[in-house]
Amino acid sequence: MLQSRPLPLAASIQEKLPLHPELKEMIRRGRLLLQQPLSSIKPLILGPCSIHDPETDFFLAEKIGLLQKEHPEFLFVFRCHLEKPRSNHYWRGFLMDPDLDGRCDFEKGILLSRKFMIALVEQGIPLSYEFIDPFLAPYVDDLVTVGIIGARTVYSQTHRQLAAALPMPIIFKNSLDGRLDGVLDAMELTQNGFFAPKMGPNGAEMVYAKNPFTHMMLRGGFLGPNHDQAEQGKKRIENRGLKGSVFVDCAHQNSFKDPALQIKLFEQILSNDSPFIDGIMIECHLEEGNQPFSKKPKRGLSITDPCLSLVQVKQSLKVSKTVLRHA
């Protein structure tokens, strides 16, 4: 049975919650840093698996932002992931379903989400965002420093078109089977450019879409981890005549969603300082682990994938900095 209701135009939402010119410039500068990451500064994308409690998640983001002065060897980017790809659960993420009850009060979700994202940008915190539904991208894309196309959608022509049209660097994750072909094809298509329809602030439009700043993220697959394929990934990017960096996701199948293995891999990458790994992503929250999904979850604990605690991350960064200093 089909039930429908109109959605507000993205332009009307942006008018209600506009972005100050100074913040636009801040986001632009952050995007420049992610276009071609410097070898001396590794982007470190960290934060919860999913945003579900903006007040607590803002507190987490502030703590992550404070790490920037202590660890200038990294560029800290907050995982502001407000949509969720669902395989077997109805919750589509805070932007779609802010009350966690399946009613999908979208207008409430998008207004609260934009307020949350703007507040983070005002604190000088760069944001990553996994784009799930192309129809929803115009409501938030002006606030995002680096976009991510996930393992379930890297083969999707619609998402490749979206990635080409988005005004930011994009990281493609390898597919669920762990293969790199989907990422390479997506990078080649988006870097070469093409005409494509997309949703804009005032509705559908036809654009010439080309994004020269796309990257690869290794996240493991059905057969297990693939974080050791960074050198191979970089060579395959170059063999296609493409440009792009290689990121490693310490969560998901690279650690079998086990926080103990995730922190072990994170520390291994930090201590080895591989020239082929240009950036890192980890999932962390105020507390380690996760909890069963509910309408009133405990604060500071993931309701989706298990996360590291921020304390664990800070300890690993501190130890790694000491090791590298004396190396």
What CATH number corresponds to the domain at position 221? 3.20.20.70
Q: Give the mean pLDDT of 170-193.
A: 97
Residue 34, domain member (yes or no): no
pLDDT at 55: 97
Residue 23, domain member (yes or no): no
CA-nearest of 153, 281, 278 to 219 is 281
Taking only the tens place, the pLDDT of each residue in 154-168 is 999 999 999 999 999
pLDDT at 131: 98
pLDDT at 87: 56
Cβ neighbour number for residue 68 with a 10 Å cutoff: 15
The confidence band for 40, taking pLDDT boundaries of 50, 70 and 90, is confident
- For a pLDDT cut of 90, what percent of the chain falls above it? 91
Instruction: Count up the domains in the chain and report the number.
Output: 1
The confidence band for 175, taking pLDDT boundaries of 50, 70 and 90, is very high
Residue 45, domain member (yes or no): no
Residue 27, domain member (yes or no): no
The confidence band for 322, taking pLDDT boundaries of 50, 70 and 90, is low
Residue 252, domain member (yes or no): yes
Taking only the tens place, the pLDDT of each residue in 101-111 is 999 999 999 99
Residue 37, domain member (yes or no): no
Residue 89, domain member (yes or no): yes
Residue 234, domain member (yes or no): yes
Task: Assess whether pLDDT exceeds 70 at residue 325.
Answer: no
Q: Give the mean pLDDT of 284-309.
A: 96
Taking only the tens place, the pLDDT of each residue in 232-258 is 999 999 999 999 999 999 999 999 999
pLDDT at 137: 97
Task: Assess whether pLDDT exceeds 90 at residue 63.
Answer: yes
pLDDT at 86: 67
Q: Give the mean pLDDT of 300-308.
A: 97
Domain that holds residue 139: 68-325
